[in-house]
Amino acid sequence: MSRIPFKYKKFHAELGCKCPSLENLREFDDIAYRFVIEDLNHFNNHNPPYVITPARIDSEDCCDVKCKGYAISLFTDLKKAENKLKKFLATKPLLSNVLGNCIGKIQVTPECGMVDIPNIKDTHFNLHEFENHKSFNITIVTKIE
Amino acid sequence: MNKPLLNISGIEIPQFPKELTKIGDLIYFQGSLMSVYKDKDMYAYIFDWVESNDSLNRWLVYQTDIKILAEFIKGKYSHFNLINSPEKDLFYLVDKNINGDIVNCKIISGKHIPNQYLPQNDIFFDDEDSRNLDSIVSTFRLDEISSNTINNSKIFDILEEAQRNNSELINLHIKSSNEKVGFGKIRTSILSEVLNSYYKLSKATAINLFDNKGKASEDKVRRKNGELKSIIELADTEYMYSKAASFSVFLKPIKQKIDLFDNTTCTEKITKTVFKLFEASLAKDSLEELKPFIDNGMLTAYNNFLKEIKEQDLTITVQYANPGNSFQIKDVFNPQKANSIMKNLSVLEVSNTHNIKLKGFFKALDSTNYTFKFESLEGDIYIGKFSEQLKNGMFAFNLQSIYQISLEIAELKKAGKANIDEKITMVASIEDKAN
């Protein structure tokens, strides 16, 4: 059970449900990949989707979905992250202004927060940051032209 | 500073005219990116995210036929096809604020959708990206819609269009990743070059099919006197109409001729030959096998067609349908494929020589360079040089008499060259005193 409070605990409380569900979370200590904007200091690179405005929130979403809106999106596999971003940008070119058009490499440690289990197919997972985690040190590894 | 969203022409309306209920998401990542809604009459609407700034998310909203939605989910229709086929040809542009409230709403024409809002034309549905897909399928009973309802993933159903028009149709669907081709609009220069290069390819194929230079064979019918013009007309088409969808042109043959032996039209034969060339040119081996049936006219016209695609960064889908026998065929060219085929064509080596005998007139004689221009009675023009043996005797030739001549035609194409060089030498010439 997590002893360190989560960074977005205030928002979690407002959801009025069990967020995040700790039984499904665990530690992670490895490299992970993220869609980032080339300007590494950009707000969107360091914040979860529901904190980035305007969020695409659906008020009827279930607790679990809304809770993940306050987590950082990451991938364990670089190639799969790249393919996913390429497809998103081919589908919606202006998404590059929101998600970015680069893949950034991040070292995630147990001190950053807790993660859910990566999706088998696309390796996407969510990191719920701890309160004392400030920001990530991101290195760009790929740029989608 | 909050950057404004793109300014799109349209008619502003005070509110979205329908009351919609969300069913699920076709694309979801950190929030909805493409959602399906229904109205009270169970019509399906798509909310397609297109743009945002610091305060607004913008959606392209359109009603879609559930058959098309079913085919999209089955992976047979692309995302582009889906946007391309809105019910009533109507789009809404909807801006929502951070609370999800609609603050701006416009009715827009498909012609005004900017390229930045459109997907590339080879993007298909991936259920991995979806959410509540089961709800979408069950709400509209999409699994009960058979694939026979819409035959296959065509840009337009070419056979349906051909049947509707009761005519063979050729469809050229042109798309570009740049501004040259937009939704329902195209630069005149691009359209004219594409139409012209496809016509020249058809014309060269028609002339090749009804060849007069070689021996008649099963595949090549020797044309008769005076038939050249009518054969060229077999390759010609007239513009019928276009449809919004990047740019899609429908062409109809201006002349129809049916081969009584196999009951196919000449347009179908020409088109099948053109498509045979398309397919064979994908690989060097198959192109080698087709080599005896390709002439300089076809090679040059094909190269120019591909060059246009490559240089203008176009994607062209070519389709043909004959409603008489329900035959249809399709091929797609993009700059990468065009480039690859052009490389295959450039390494093709052609080297053959053959002789032909003709009757006709000299149109021009050049005693300085020992060259001639000769027109056969069938209307073919030959430009070449006199052989060493004939050079001294050329002064006896005139422009009025009919001559029986023998020509040696040497075709040579070395690897690295785009075209076949054709060298024509007149080796014999006798005045036809009978005429």
Min mean pLDDT across A58-62, A70-74, B52-56, B282-286 is at: A58-62
pLDDT above 70 covers a percentage of chain A that reads: 99
Task: Tell me whether the omega of the peptide bond preceding residue A54 falls within 30 degrees of 0, making it cis.
Answer: yes
Chain B residues closer than 8 Å to A49 by CB: 30-31
Contact assessment for residue A143 and residue A101, using Cβ atoms and an 8 Å cutoff: yes
Chain B residues close to A89, C-beta within 8 Å: none
Average pLDDT over residues B329-356: 85
Q: Is B49 on the interface with A (CB under 8 A)?
A: yes
Peptide bond into A20 cis (omega under 30): yes
Q: Kindly report, residue by residue over B347-372, the tens digit of the pLDDT.
A: 887 777 888 888 999 999 999 999 99
Q: What integer pLDDT is reported at residue B45 of this predicted model?
A: 97
Work out the average pLDDT over A23-51: 95
> Is A32's pLDDT higher than 60?
yes
Residue B124 pLDDT > 50, yes or no? yes
Name the residue with tokens 């740019």. Answer: B247
Nearest by CB to residue B98, choosing from A54, A93, A121, is: A54
| Percent above pLDDT 90 for chain A | 79
CB nearest B57 (choices: A54, A87, A99): A54
Tell me what pLDDT residue B216 has. Answer: 43
Tell me: pLDDT of B294 over 60: yes
Tens-place pLDDT, residues A101-142: 999 999 999 999 999 999 999 999 999 999 999 888 999 999
Tokens of A59: 């008020």
Q: Look at B117 and A57 and tell me if their CB atoms are within 8 Å.
A: no
Number of A/B CB contacts below 8 angstroms equals: 69
Mutation pick from B2, B32, B52, B124 vs chain A, by most beta carbons of A within 10 Å, is B52
Q: How far apart are CA B32 and CA B35, in angstroms?
A: 6
In this prediction, residue B243 has a pLDDT band, given cuts at 50, 70 and 90, of low
Please state, in angstroms and rounded to a whole number, the distance separating the CA atoms of residues A15 and A62.
Answer: 10
Give the integer Cα–Cα distance in Å for B314 and B302. Answer: 15
B196 contacts: CB under 8 Å, gap ≥ 6: none
Higher-confidence residue: B342 or A106? A106
Closest residue, chain B, to A56 (C-alpha): B31
Q: Is B152's pLDDT higher than 50?
A: no
Q: What is the mean pLDDT of residues B388-412?
A: 90
Least confident of A47-51, A61-65, B215-219, B404-408: B215-219
Give the separation between CA B45 and CA B21, rounded to whole angstroms. Answer: 10
Span of A28-32, B75-79, B176-180, B350-354 with lowest mean pLDDT = B176-180
CB contact under 8 A, B119 and A92: yes
Please give, rounded to a whole number of angstroms, the shortest distance from the CA of A126 to a CA of chain B: 11
**Contact between chains at A69 and B96 (C-beta distance less than 8 A):** no
Listed range (B195-199, B218-222, B233-237) with the worst mean pLDDT: B218-222
Q: Over chain B, what is the mean pLDDT?
A: 84
Per-window interface: B 105-164 vs A, CB < 8 A: 115-117, 119-120, 123, 126, 128
Chain B residues close to A62, C-beta within 8 Å = none
The model's confidence at residue B94, banded by pLDDT at 50, 70 and 90, is very high
Residue of A59, A90, A92 lying closest to B49 (CB–CB): A92
The secondary structure of chain B, three-state, reads CCCCCCCCCCEECCCCCCCCEEEEEEEECCEEEEEEEECCCCCEEEEEEEEECCCCEEEEEEEECHHHHHHHHCCCCCHHHHHHCEHHHCEEEEEECCCCCEEEEEEECHHHCCHHHCCCCCCCCCHHHCECHHHHHHHHCHHHCCCCCCCCCCCCCHHHHHHHHCCCEEEEEEEECCCCEECCEECHHHHHHHHHHHHHHHHHHHHHHCCCCCCCCCCCCCCCCCCHHHHHHHCCEEEEEEEECCEEEEEEECCCCEECCCCEEHHHHHHHHHHHHHHHCCCHHHHHHHHHHCCHHHHHHHHHHHHHHHHCCEEEEEEEEECCCCEEEEEEECHHHHHHHHHHHHHCCEEEEEEEEEEEEEEEEECCCCEEEEEECCCCEEEEEECHHHHHHHHHCCCCCCEEEEEEEEEEECCCCCCCEEEEEEEEEEECCCC
Under 8 Å between Cβ of B374 and B426 = yes
Query: How much is the ipTM here?
Result: 0.95
| pLDDT at res. B223 | 56
**B33 vs A55, B40, B142, B190, B238, CA distance in Å?**
11, 23, 21, 33, 42
Residues sharing a CB contact under 8 Å with residue B393, sequence separation 6 or more, in sequence order = B429
Instruction: Report the range of poorest mean pLDDT among A23-32, B127-136, B416-425.
Output: B416-425
Asked whether residue B435 carries a pLDDT value surpassing 70, the answer given is no
Distance from CA of B130 to the nearest CA of A (A): 13
pLDDT of res. B184: 64
Q: Average pLDDT, stretch B45-57? A: 96
Q: How far apart are CA A45 and CA A51, in angstroms?
A: 11
The reported pLDDT for the residue numbered B62 is 96
- Contact state of B30 with A69 under an 8 Å Cβ cutoff: yes
Say which residue the tokens 């009715």 belong to. B107
* Cα–Cα distance for residue pair B92/B78, rounded to 1 Å: 20
Q: φ and ψ at B208, to 5 degrees?
A: -65, -40
CB B363 within 8 A of CB B399: yes
